[in-house]
Structure 1
Amino acid sequence: MPSPLYIFDMDDTLIDGDCSMLWNQFLVDKGFVKDPDFLTTDQKLMALYGVGKLDMEAYLAFTMQPLAAMPCTKVDELVAQFVAEYVEPRVFKEAQALLADLKAKQIPMVIISATVSFIVTQVAKSLGVEHALGIDMAVIGDHYSAQIVGIPSYRQGKIARLEQWINAQQSDFSALHFYTDSINDLPLCEYADHAYLINPCQQLEQAAQGKNWQIYHWNTRALA
């Protein structure tokens, strides 16, 4: 019998915060970024993301700069440290309980995020989610570059990436259940069979009017 598939956005949905911004804060805190305007620029760009107007290629060109001279193995080590110190304490308690319940019932789950995949994969692993899709960055000379590989999992691209992933599986799914907070995910909300809005932004909440989408307000961190 086909199983449902549960699909999760990551930032501000499972996590109380945006992992891209938290990662940039981590790089500053650990001394890998010296530019005093780095976080201010990041905040301005992410404000555009919040209203669905971010140029993702421009954003990645900016945020990948601090990693240009760092080998992938070093980046991956730092990401593991980052997830443990900056992300795990921000997991919503409600999200943790839901993921644990789905895992116990052996219901397949996938996280799909507009964050770079080398971060999304580590976060998914820490949450016990087997499958994760993020924006894949080309590796050139053992360094992560700012060049996107394939379709970026952003806005409409999330549907394309999800369809690619589903087509690669050896099972059918009875229904698609999608959780998100962001107006950027409106296309995937409309594509899924069931949409669940977690602390939705104002634009997404307005778009949900007249639709049979459930709205939840999660506000408790698992490690609070």
Structure 2
Amino acid sequence: MPQPLYVFDLDNTLICGDSSTLWSRYLVRQGFADNAGYLQQEKRLMRDYARGDMDLHEYVALTMSPLREMPIALVDRMVAQYVASEIVPRIYPQAQALINQLHADKQPVLIISASVSLLVKAIAPVLGITHAIGVEVKSDNDRYTGELDGTPSYQHGKISCLNDFLASHQLYDGKLTFYTDSINDLPLCELADRVFMVNPCPQLAAQGEQRGWPALNWQLSRF
């Protein structure tokens, strides 16, 4: 019997906020990045992202720059602390309830995010999700270089990454349901059999109104 696949964006879809921006602010608070220049550049690039035209190479190079001299094991420990303190309180309860129900129904679930994989793959387990795809970053001599590795899971690249995943995981031959908030995910929305917009940005909301995609209003009480 064909088995459907449920695919989720991460930032502002499963969690309240953007994990990359929150990570950048965390690095500043921990003293690993310059407050004025670093966050100003990150904010500028995220404005580009909201318009759908961010240079991902530039963004990853910027946000990985404070980590280039750190051993990967140290970065992993920092990420684990960050996820526990900054991400877990931001998980939408509606998202967690849906994921739990999908697991109970034995439906396969996948996260595909344009955030770097070292964040995405640390966040996925706290949501109870095994399979997760993020932007891969090259490493050399046990350090991250800040350069992209392979096709990034961003805009049309999410489709390429999804196809690669499906080719190596024989768990799906049915319909695709996709949850997202962002106009950057329009290519994957157009591929999916069903789309649910979670607190959609204005551009995606306009597309969804034309195409009949339902919008979900997921909220937290504390933010």
Q: Same fold (TM over 0.5)?
A: yes
Q: Deviations over 1:99-120 (max 9, x none)?
A: 1111111110000000000100
- Structure 2: how far apart are the matches of 1:86 and 1:8? 20
Q: Using the TM superposition, give the Cα deviation of residue 11 of structure 1 relative to its aligned residue in structure 2, in angstroms.
A: 0.1
- Structure 2: how far apart are the matches of 1:205 and 1:172? 28
Within the alignment, does 1:70 sit opposite 2:70 as a pair? yes
Kindly indicate whether the alpha-carbon contact (under 8 Å) linking 1:155 and 1:187 is maintained by their aligned counterparts in 2: yes
Match of 2:27 in 1: 27
User: If the length of structure 2 is used for normalisation, what is the TM-score?
Assistant: 0.97
Q: Secondary structure at the match of 2:77?
A: helix
- Structure 1: how far apart are the matches of 2:68 and 2:93? 36
Q: Deviations over 1:62-109 (max 9, x none)?
A: 111100100100000000000000001001110010011111111100
Instruction: Give runs of aligned pairs for residues 1-224 of structure 1, distance below 5 A.
Output: 1-220=1-220
Q: Using the TM superposition, give the Cα deviation of residue 220 of structure 1 relative to its aligned residue in structure 2, in angstroms.
A: 2.2
Q: Secondary structure at the match of 1:206?
A: helix
Structure 2: 5+ residue runs without aligned partners? none
User: If the length of structure 1 is used for normalisation, what is the TM-score?
Assistant: 0.96
Kindly indicate whether the alpha-carbon contact (under 8 Å) linking 2:108 and 2:171 is maintained by their aligned counterparts in 1: no
- Structure 1: how far apart are the matches of 2:67 and 2:172? 39
- Structure 1: how far apart are the matches of 2:203 and 2:172? 33
Kindly indicate whether the alpha-carbon contact (under 8 Å) linking 1:94 and 1:220 is maintained by their aligned counterparts in 2: no
- Structure 1: how far apart are the matches of 2:83 and 2:30? 14
Q: Using the TM superposition, give the Cα deviation of residue 202 of structure 1 relative to its aligned residue in structure 2, in angstroms.
A: 0.3
Structure ranking higher in helix proportion: 2
Pick which of 7-16 and 164-173 moved more: 164-173
Kindly indicate whether the alpha-carbon contact (under 8 Å) linking 1:15 and 1:90 is maintained by their aligned counterparts in 2: yes
Q: Deviations over 1:1-33 (max 9, x none)?
A: 221100000000000000000000110111111
- Structure 2: how far apart are the matches of 1:93 and 1:123? 15
The number of aligned residues is 223
Q: Using the TM superposition, give the Cα deviation of residue 35 of structure 1 relative to its aligned residue in structure 2, in angstroms.
A: 4.2
- Structure 2: how far apart are the matches of 1:100 and 1:213? 23
Q: Using the TM superposition, give the Cα deviation of residue 36 of structure 1 relative to its aligned residue in structure 2, in angstroms.
A: 2.4
Q: Deviations over 1:133-186 (max 9, x none)?
A: 000001111011111111000000000100110111123331100000000000
Could you tell me which amino acid in structure 1 is paired with residue 181 of structure 2? Answer: D
Could you tell me which amino acid in structure 2 is paired with residue 112 of structure 1? Answer: I
Kindly indicate whether the alpha-carbon contact (under 8 Å) linking 1:199 and 1:218 is maintained by their aligned counterparts in 2: yes
Percent identical residues: 43
Kindly report structure 1 stretches of 4+ aligned residues shifted beyond 4 Å.
Answer: none
- Structure 1: how far apart are the matches of 2:171 and 2:95? 25
- Structure 2: how far apart are the matches of 1:85 and 1:167? 35
Two-structure CA RMSD over aligned residues (Å)? 1.2
Kindly indicate whether the alpha-carbon contact (under 8 Å) linking 2:5 and 2:172 is maintained by their aligned counterparts in 1: no
